[in-house]
């Protein structure tokens, strides 16, 4: 339904604004609402951003579960696909490959790298924001 798509897009935008302001818990909530509003066709970039929001809150096992979903929803060798795979691989290292429910080791993970501090720009145009690619 078109209304569901619009609702999903609105929550995704709100989540992106929250993420860019460093409010990762609020971003997580808005990205999840975006996915829930249109579950039959979740936006892969929104799923990836949800994973990044969880990651920034040190919720690594949950972030890995969501990153795996982002990988499933994206094609390899696309901007979103490459970023999803990079995030998944990073989280696999942090968790020892343990998604939600299996627990991670008690080791302190390394600090976040600076490049992942903002959601991915998937437009291919630097400075053009974080608008997801059109499907």
Residues of the chain with pLDDT under 70: 100-135
Residue 128 confidence (pLDDT): 39
Residue 99 confidence (pLDDT): 75
Tokens 């990153």 belong to which residue?
A: 67
- List the domain boundaries for the chain: 2-100
State the Cα–Cα distance between residues 4 and 125, nearest whole angstrom.
28
Residue 38 confidence (pLDDT): 97
In order, the DSSP letters of 4-66 are HHHHHHHHHHHHHHHHHTT-HHHHHHHHHHHHHHSTTS--HHHHHHHHHHHHHTT-HHHHHHH
Q: In the CATH scheme, what is the homologous superfamily, with its name and number, of domain 2-100?
A: Tetratricopeptide repeat domain (1.25.40.10)
Residue 100 confidence (pLDDT): 64
Local structure of residue 76 (DSSP, 8 states): T
State the Cα–Cα distance between residues 1 and 9, nearest whole angstrom.
13
């Amino acid at each position: 339904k078109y209304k569901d798509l619009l609702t999903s897009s609105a929550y995704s935008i709100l989540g992106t604004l929250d993420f860019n302001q460093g409010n990762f818990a609020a971003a997580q909530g808005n990205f999840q609402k975006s996915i829930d509003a249109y579950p039959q066709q979740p936006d892969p970039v929104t799923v990836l951003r949800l994973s990044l929001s969880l990651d920034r809150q040190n919720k690594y096992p949950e972030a890995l579960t969501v990153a795996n979903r982002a990988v499933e929803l994206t094609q390899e060798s696309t901007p979103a696909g490459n970023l999803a795979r990079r995030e998944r691989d990073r989280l696999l290292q942090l968790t020892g490959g343990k998604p939600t429910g299996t627990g991670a080791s008690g080791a302190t993970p390394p600090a976040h790298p600076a490049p992942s501090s903002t959601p991915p720009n998937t437009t291919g145009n630097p400075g053009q924001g974080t608008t997801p690619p059109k499907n």
